[in-house]
Structure 1
Amino acid sequence: MKNKHQLGFVFRQENCVGCQACTIACQIHNELPEDVRFRKVDRFEVKRDDDMVDVWLSHSCMHCGNPACLMVCPSQAYTIRNDGLVVLDREKCTGCGLCINACPYDAVVMLKTDGKAAKCNMCIELIDQGLKPACVDGCPVKCLDTDRIEQLLTQSHTVSKEGIGYGHCITKPNMVIVKERL
């Protein structure tokens, strides 16, 4: 059954310039070490008309409907909130690393400081206050946002769960790509 309250990231791939300000905003907000990234920006070179152009994909935890991290965690450190956000309780984490290997999006990292897993939680402390995640506020071209996924998919033909570098997966990821330029 689909969660009509499922929150997810909304990405305007056509607008992204690959500046990685979202990554930096996330690192600062979460006080992450320089070598740890919850949000990554990947570059894809694609053919458009007669030219090759760079297309970017900003991604983090997809807050999947069927999260592999949750399925493999022996300590039950992962839970899914009513709004669909997948949250890791680091106190329960034993550092086994199974979740890191299971995630198809490379969204879970192992922190060297304590040997435990860590990942994007969509800045739930901000979401719960009615605010946007740090990565969203950090994007200078406003190509990143959050919203209710099912609502977006039914409201617009320009919204899809497919984009360059991103598509359907058995884990049921919750990010949508808006296929129109602002």
Structure 2
Amino acid sequence: MSNKFQKGFIFRQENCVGCGGCSVACQIHNELPEDVRFRKVDLYEVTSADGRVRDVWFSHACMHCSNPTCLAVCPAAAFTKRPDGIVVLDRNKCTSCGLCKEACPYDAITISKIDGKAAKCNLCVELLDAGLNPACVDGCPVKCLQVGNVTQVLAQKASASKQGIGYSDGPNKPNMIIIRERK
């Protein structure tokens, strides 16, 4: 059964210019070391039917899955799901086993070189709870990233899907929506 309150990232892939503003904003807000990224921007070269090659970017972080394997494999119960579906990690409970990183199919979990514990995007819950946007959303200069109710967006927008270049739905039931239209 799906969570009617599930929050997730909504990404306008056709608008992304690959600048990395979202990744930098996340890194600054979370005070991450230079080599740690909760949000990544991947480049894909796509060949159109007429043979032209174009660049397409995919900005991604934790997918706040409906069926998160990180939560399932953690022996310390360090991961929880909030009522709005956001997957949160309590680093104080983390035992540094690394099972969550191995289990995540989206490469969303990093292991800190400082303390050996897992770390990941929490959708900036402290900002969301204060009525603000996550840092990555405000850091995007072309406004191709936002957060919303996944169920509502999928039901109301015909161009919304869980498929995009570099991304597809899977057994973890990731909660990221791709809008396939230019704004």
Instruction: Please indicate the TM-score interval, normalised by the length of the shorter structure.
Output: over 0.9
SS in 1 for 2:167: coil
Q: CA RMSD in A?
A: 0.5
The match for 1:38 is 38
SS in 2 for 1:28: helix
The match for 2:47 is 47
Give the counterpart letter for 1:110 in structure 2: I
The question of 1:73 aligning with 2:79 is answered no
Measured in 1, the distance between the counterparts of 2:41 and 2:153 equals: 23
TM-score (norm 2): 0.99
SS in 2 for 1:94: coil
Measured in 1, the distance between the counterparts of 2:101 and 2:148 equals: 26
The match for 1:130 is 131
Q: How does 1:53-92 map to 2 (within 5 A)?
A: 53-92=54-93
Cα offset for 1:168?
1.2
Cα offset for 1:50?
2.6
TM-score (norm 1): 0.99
Cα offset for 1:141?
0.3
SS in 2 for 1:43: strand
Measured in 1, the distance between the counterparts of 2:35 and 2:100 equals: 19
Count of aligned positions: 182
Q: How does 1:138-149 map to 2 (within 5 A)?
A: 138-149=139-150
The percent identity for this pair of structures is 65
Cα offset for 1:156?
1.2
Measured in 1, the distance between the counterparts of 2:121 and 2:140 equals: 16
Unpaired segments ≥5 residues, structure 2: none
Unpaired segments ≥5 residues, structure 1: none
Measured in 2, the distance between the counterparts of 1:111 and 1:124 equals: 20
Give the counterpart letter for 2:10 in structure 1: V
SS in 2 for 1:41: strand
The match for 1:8 is 8
Q: How does 1:101-180 map to 2 (within 5 A)?
A: 101-180=102-181
Measured in 1, the distance between the counterparts of 2:152 and 2:178 equals: 14
The match for 2:17 is 17
Measured in 1, the distance between the counterparts of 2:47 and 2:158 equals: 23
Runs of 4+ in 1 over 4 A off after TM superposition: none
Q: Deviations over 1:51-77 (max 9, x none)?
A: 100000000000000001000000000
